[in-house]
Structure 1
Amino acid sequence: MYWTSQSCNCHCHAACTRALKCQAGGTEEMHMKLSHLMFIYALGLTVVSVEGHTQPWPTKPVRAIVPFAAGTLTDILPRLVFEELSTRLGQSIIVENRPGAGSTTAAGLVAKADPDGYTVLVNSSAHTIAPALYPALGFDPVRDFAAVVPLGLTPSVLVVSPASGFKTAADFVASAKAKPGVLNFGSAGVGTATYLSAMRFQYSAGVRATHVPFKGGPEIISEIIAGRIDFFFPPVANALPFVKDGKLTALVVNSAKRSAALPEVPTTSEAGFTDAEYPFWIGMFLPAKTPRAIIEKLHDEAVKALTTPKLQEKLVALGVDPMVMTPTEFDGFIEKQITADAALVTAAGIKTH
């Protein structure tokens, strides 16, 4: 049972008063009792002091660090979730975009932040690719972070120009095998999710294409529509409006199940290509030493936000599928993905930074 300041004051004061009424020259026993009473009094105040500094979370705005530019899916998705989540937490969530160095600049900032629950990292598949690409990270994606909750995943989709004549993935692969290295593909850069998605599919299908790097997805899509780039593996969310408008043809999605946004498009496994999956996920992280109670509360409230009908409707429109995991399961997923990504980076012969 905890002491309270009121009960401690009353009992100790009365006892001390009785003791002080004894003769001035009192015995050693009296002095020992008095010292004992004063120790208990001080201990009571200490417990009260500790209890008084235990506050509920959150009591002020939360800062969310996003390692990508505004307008990207990794920025749009958390902002949608935060609209609902901030209401549930009773505090605003302020998004700060800190792009650069394959998400490692932002991740490094959060890894060193105070573990008080007020600095959150929103990262993507880039979080698990980073260790293989940047051996001298300055932080450990597993030891320095607590995985909180996945916000969702969006499969990458193999898209081509309708003018290419490719109707199925089999058509595409047959052409690529007949002309090794002739077809080209765009990506947002070596080591990015769009690059690794394309590389994993090529290894699975046994084809080889020429890589053309770009600054971002919108430019690549424009080049495919114009006929200068042959294929691209963007997240479904980025390709969806162009597929719906007939400007791009979607051949396969590289996920375990079909995308709710493109239900007519088969998975790589359904098309006959094993080990070609490379889903693009987005999730929230906190510094590793954040109190477990805060991690669990943020997870639980985020899950409630994600399951509201209004938000679910918006996520489907974005091509984002649910990714349900507990914090412990998400931690385990991160460790497995780091291993898988490292193997792919090695197989692709990607140079580290």
Structure 2
Amino acid sequence: MAVEISKKVFDAFVEAALMIKKSPVLKTTPFLGFKTVEDGSLYMYFSDSESTAAVELTKSLIDMDFAVDPKPLQAFKAIKADTILFDADRQAIFWVGSKELTLPFMTDMAYTFENGTFERLFEIDGKTLLDMINAVVFAVSKEELGGLRFVRMEIGKKLRFVSSDGFKLALAEEDITTPQENAFLLNPAIFHGIAKLISKEKDVTIAAGVAHNHIVFSWNFEDYPVIFKARIAHEQFPDYQRAFPEVKYVFKVNKKELKDGFAFLRKTNSSEPVMIEIEGNTMTLMVKSENGIAKYDLEIENETGEDFKIVVNPRDVYAILTHCKGDDLIIKAESNSRALLFECENRQFLSTPIRYYGGVQ
């Protein structure tokens, strides 16, 4: 008996399942599974060693328990349709209109899906959660995701995510209502999948909780119940508060103007470090290379009145500015050898300076 489901939901799960293969942290063969559980509910899911995402499709009249390689299913993505159908006997068959795809069952997937209840801790809207994930995971850059060992998730009066790769630190927080205070460590690679799923349906309310050593996120995707479970890691996270500088310099900057400045320098020579020099209320961004010197000036508010000079990695700063909220940005520093602190609306970022510039310390 064929099962009909939303093609938008189907395409999103196919795309999210393939994100596992792209992750430099999780070396897992991606698969898309279909399983009927004890209460008769049929789920579509994907999983790895750290997380599981599943969507309840229907109350099935027949038992299903199979998995397929999601890569060939990308062929359906370009087809415009509201639904997709599938069935399974000795092979899996998927079709949209006259377009049909038959796939063999996978037999080597290492993980499966089990449904269950969870203790609800708080709710948050999807757009806010996606923005927080982007800030603490992808502000470090997708290419360097392998440098992140964990993301710390704190709950209390605020929901707070903190990540660091040893050179950069990102902190994002939002107000929530929750009955307890706690902290959990999560593998950053799991955010590939959840970010991909939420980005397809941002206007949702997400319930978060705990179940069997997992953090659980649950929401409705086009009226289909989705559950995303992420394994809690039992390791120590460094005392990240010690990384914040003792503030001796404070500068207020327009975020857009500063981002425009770094964008200009990136176009001239993005691989070279950027010198930030502040004299009075003028900030000068400068890049030196064999091809010459590029400069960009902008007016700022120098609250401490002291001149300041520091060298930064332009890629790091540009990523920070991309994920900062609001128009106003406050930059704080202790010295030109300590991490530079960028503060914007509900976000904090630390970026380690570069000690040498153009061969001169």
Same structural fold, with TM-score higher than 0.5 when normalized by the shorter chain: no
Structure number with the higher helix fraction is 1
Largest Rg, 1 or 2: 1
TM range (shorter): under 0.3
